[in-house]
Amino acid sequence: MDWVKLEEQVQPLNKGQRLIIRDDVHEFNELQGVLELASRKKLKPIILDTGLFGLNELTILSRFHFSFYSGDLARPDFLQLAAITELLNKNNCPVYFFLEEGSRVEALDEKLAAQLEAVFISSRQKSWETSQLARLAEETLAGGTTLVYYHHGQPEESLAEWPKKNCWLHWSNRFFDESGQPVVLELLKNIKQKKAHVIIHLDIPASFDYINSLSEGGAHLIFNFGPIETRSRLSRLESSWNKKKLPEKVFYLYQDFMA
């Protein structure tokens, strides 16, 4: 194990910064070393799980505090997942889970959800039935965890049918424009009534009046386009939203990324 190289990896990072590590990038002993160095520097390590390690290895690693991001592609066996989450939770290592493949979605129940910090789903590569989303919302709410849904497509009426107060929906204005403003504002109103949340990723430019209407309609805004004219109304609106901090668990790793 080359400690010099490991130290070089964490040296640029400051206290409290995240260190994202895939579990298959390092040998097991090296990964222990990285976590030890991260602990010394008081960093926030995140392990991206590929299913490489079993309970024995994770028991050793869990001596160090880290966040564990897994999914049903890496951990299709939910009995194994339950054992892993129980182990990691005992050692204050929060577990985040991405339901990507989705064939075993019915196995994610209230008991398992209670051990997860957040459950992520996306329509990027898989279409989800409203009934599936409704069931996930109920099970995660009962388990006291957060459900995060990335919707790739135009906002539709069904998006207001299933969310509960623990749900966060991500939309991008790449999929809708100002002509759909009445529909979007009506959806925001209905979702807000259920105490759920909508985050709109502003990936392409739009007028101030339109963007401001989304803000006033209850959406949380992420400004990804630019540049924006300084000292303009839109610049001030962007600045006000950039100052607002949302919980880290309502984003899959990166705030500006539609998973």
Class of domain 14-100: alpha beta
Q: Do the two domains 14-100 and 108-249 of this chain adopt the same fold?
A: yes
Residue 118, SS3 per DSSP: strand
What crossing angle do the helices spanning 181-193 and 208-216 adopt, rounded to 10°?
A: 20
The phi, psi pair for 182, rounded to 5°, reads: -60, -40
Q: Tokens 């939770």 correspond to what residue?
A: 89
Helix (H) or strand (E) holding 143: helix 130-143
Provide the whole-model pTM.
0.96
Residue 234, SS3 per DSSP: helix
pLDDT digits (tens, 9 = 90+) for 198-231: 999 999 999 999 999 999 999 999 999 999 999 9
What are the strands, taking DSSP E only, across the chain? 18-22, 44-48, 67-71, 95-99, 118-122, 146-150, 167-172, 197-202, 220-223
pLDDT digits (tens, 9 = 90+) for 30-72: 899 999 999 999 999 999 999 999 999 999 999 999 999 999 9
Block means of pLDDT (10 residues each) for the chain, 259 residues, are: 73 92 92 92 97 96 96 96 97 97 93 98 96 98 98 96 98 96 97 98 97 98 95 96 96 96
CA 202 – CA 222 distance, rounded (Å): 6
Query: Is CATH 1.10.1760 correct for 108-249?
Result: no
| Domain limits, the chain | 14-100, 108-249
CA 44 – CA 34 distance, rounded (Å): 12
